[in-house]
Structure 1
Amino acid sequence: MISSIGRTRAVVVTGVARWWVAAGRFLLFALAAASAVVWALGVTVLQPLSEPTGPEAFGENNTYWARELRWGALIALVLVLVVLARGSRWTTYGAVAGGGAWLAVDVGLDRIDKTSGTAELAMAAGVAALLLCCVIVVAVPAAPRPRALLAVATVAAVASGVATATESPTDVEPALTTGSAAVGSLLALVAVAAAVHAAGPLSRPPTRRTVQVSAIAGATPWLLRYVSPQPSGGRYLAIFAFTVLLIVSVVALAGPRAESRRHRYGHPVVAAIVAVTLPAMYLPLALLAIVLQIGEPFTELAANTPINTADEDVVLIALTIPIGLVLARILRD
């Protein structure tokens, strides 16, 4: 009798786990396709809006805001692939390599000033993203790496905040508000998905809680951008608070399998760690990016108008990767 009950429970657990895996993969496929489509829109729609015009035109600070948003969508795509790979080291390397190849395509399309064929490019990008997802699923290992998935969640959360705060020289473009909100929302949803997958099917958070966190995380970038379309101290503080709360939320969703500090110290301490670490890392890295002009090589490769020597050519969205990785290490050690 006892063995029969045990077998019944095992069947139920296995069935639930299979349903959870199938549903999770479907949502990740959708996020990957959405990331690819947003990237395509960034190439053909947003990029032309950001380029200076005129015979003596020069770029200035934040001129290439469309590049920030395109690359934010590309980061979201790569992170989704890593989640599908369940954090596997070698499969993750493949996903990163695929992201590098996609970045090369991005620069090439930017160089030829592609401004037409939006629907075709979006469709091709979406199909390519889904094919990459299929390849990852076929090669995915049996055992996930929760710590790696927590790192994905923190990188996505930090990138969500930076994408939501994207500015342009004038900050009056409607496409800037829509684009930054879309990319910020996309990255926030990727962060939540990565955290839930870090928890696994057997220790996953309740569905209601996951849906609530996803809804709030996905809606907040839109709310922040449309309530305050112009840069202000209040908007910066709100985005910072959103980023901190998003990281605390994904750490909580990841559960004990990720071995995070939340299970030893609680939410307030995690929030304090994040609130101190984010500016402590972001400001020096931003200064280093300004000194090195890390965006200049990509501007030259894309044959775009150079940035005025008095201003900076940086790619702030790229800084979120080391910040997120270090923050994940701090939170789990």
Structure 2
Amino acid sequence: MRCARLLGLLLATAAVVLWAVNMTVLQPLTEPIGPWSESLPGNNAYWARDLRFATIVAVVLALVLAGRGDRRWVGPAVLLGGGWVAADVAVDRADPTGAGPTVLLAVGGCAVLAALVPFLVRRAARPSAAESPVGGAHRRVLAVAACVAGVLTLVAAGIESPTDREPELNPSAFATAALLAVVALGCAVAAAPIPTWPRRWSAVATATVTFLAIGWVRTVSPVDGRLLPTVLLGGVLLTGLTFVAWDWPYGRPDWGRHALAAFATLVGPMAMLLVAAVAMMMLPVAAPITALAGNSPINSADSDVLLSLAGVLAGLGMSVLLAWPPALTGRPTAPASTPTGPVGPQV
């Protein structure tokens, strides 16, 4: 995909802006006042943190897209994401609010991207890094990134708060989920062996249905249950990713493979999210981050769970199923052979 670099950098910039707004506008809404035990927060209290961590992952995956799956971009992007999480905790502890800190954080984040990208471009331009952008290794990296972004879309779309009455909750969840969906589809198009117009239109159709499904999830109250719309959202988005990114033998989709992928995308993401969430309930992963950020601990009757981390782990699990080598060989279908010499009557 020729515009992969531009698209990836634009999406990374959008993610930085969302992160800054989340930090200064949404995070203060989630911090309870008072040190008394009866005032300690419960499940989903720090929903803004999960959305913010999801935007940090979106920055990393958008840089992977900008690098077209080149592993010389992947390593620095992942390191940037780890450093950004540490910076997030430090900034959260400072409790910034208002328009001034929002602009300062957004400009600072964009400046970090502006300083990193030229280094990555020069690094990837070295002769030892020369490799076909549709090679199997690059395609699998992009497919893994698409799977992680796709599963994180489900997490962002279904995010809840203890009351679900905050007017900022639905717009921020929709914006974060939509951004991750675009990142996922961008990686899928870049992973295609030949980005033909049928694949591009398939990506547009998948994006349209995905946005409608995200809106459906947000309109359903958690009390009524969001499982069905969330499962269907995952099925539509992740199956669409395979349709766009996988090889098309003889120039058309392998419907048998895509049917199996559709079944896996309806069952796999929610099951893997459940396993990852239960594992984090047993391991103290989120509680130290809450303490380092200077926030009140979750009360003992509930659990402090990083749903964004669960989404990353579940996305990596789905990539084992969907970013498999047989469907991403990196060998586009060869055109029909044509005679090279003059054609005339045979004697």
Q: TM-score range by the shorter chain?
A: 0.7 to 0.9
Match of 1:118 among 81, 84, 102: 102
Q: Where is the helix percentage greater, Structure 1 or Structure 2?
A: 1
Please name the residue that 2:140 is paired with.
147
1:269 aligns with 2:253: no
Aligned residue identity for 1:24:
A
1:295 matched to 2:280? no
Q: Contact between 1:48 and 1:115, CA under 8 Å: does it hold in 2?
A: yes
Q: For the aligned residues, what is the CA RMSD?
A: 2.2
Q: Which moved more, 1:59-68 or 1:84-93?
A: 84-93
CA change 1:105–1:219 in 2 (3 A) is: farther
Q: Aligned pair 1:164/2:144, yes or no? A: no
Q: Distance in 1 between matches of 2:295 and 2:97?
A: 14
In structure 2, the partner of 1:284 is 275
Residue 223 of structure 1 and its aligned partner are, at CA, apart by: 4.4
**What CA deviation, in whole Å up to 9, does each residue of 1:276-326 have, x standing for no partner?**
322332222211111113210100111111111111111011112222122
Structure 1 residue 68, shift from structure 2 partner: 0.4
Question: Which residue of structure 2 aligns with residue 311 of structure 1?
Answer: 302
Write the letter of the residue equivalent to 2:175. A
Shift of 1:247: 0.5
Task: Summarize deviations over 1:127-151 as a string: whole Å, max 9, x none.
Answer: 3334434433333344331011111
Give the aligned partner of residue 210 of structure 2. 217
Deviation per residue, 1:7-40 (Å, 9 max, x gap): xxxxxxxxxxxxx41x222221111100000011
Pairing 1:177–2:170 present? yes
Q: Distance in 1 between matches of 2:72 and 2:199?
A: 31
CA contact (8 A) 1:285 1:319 kept: yes
- Bigger-Rg structure (1/2): 2
Match of 2:328 in 1: none
Q: Does 1:51 align with 2:44?
A: no
Shift of 1:263: 3.7
| Helix, strand or coil at the partner of 1:312 | coil
The 1:264–1:220 alpha-carbon spacing in structure 2 relative to 1, beyond 3 Å, is closer
Secondary structure of the residue aligned to 1:266 is: helix
Answer yes or no: is 1:98 the counterpart of 2:80.
yes
* 8 Å contact from structure 1 (residues 189, 217) kept in 2: no
Greater displacement, 172-181 / 131-140: 131-140
Q: Quick one: structure 1 residues 267 and 202, their matched pair in 2 at CA, closer, same or farther if it must change by over 3 Å?
A: closer
Choose from 27, 30, 41 the match for 2:21.
41
Whole-angstrom distance in 2 between the partners of 1:222 and 1:30 = 23
Give yes or no for the alignment of 1:325 onto 2:316: yes
- TM-superposed deviation, 1:233: 4.5
Provide the rounded CA distance (Å) in 1 between the counterparts of 2:83 and 2:245. 30
Q: CA deviation at 1:174?
A: 1.1
Q: Is 1:26 the counterpart of 2:6 in the alignment?
A: yes
Q: Is the 8 A contact 2:286 2:304 kept in 1?
A: yes
For this pair of structures, how many residues does the alignment match?
308
User: Residue deviations 1:43-62, cap 9 Å, x none?
Assistant: 11110001111242312111
For residues 257 and 93 of structure 1, the distance between their equivalents in structure 2, rounded to whole angstroms, comes to 30
Structure 2 gaps, min length 5: 326-347
Which residue identity is paired with 2:150? A
1:61 aligns with 2:43: yes
Report if the CA contact (8 A) 1:111-1:302 is conserved: yes
Identity %: 36
TM-score of the superposition, structure 2-length normalised?
A: 0.82
Question: Equivalent of 1:136, from 105, 120, 126?
Answer: 120
The normalised TM-score by structure 1 is 0.85
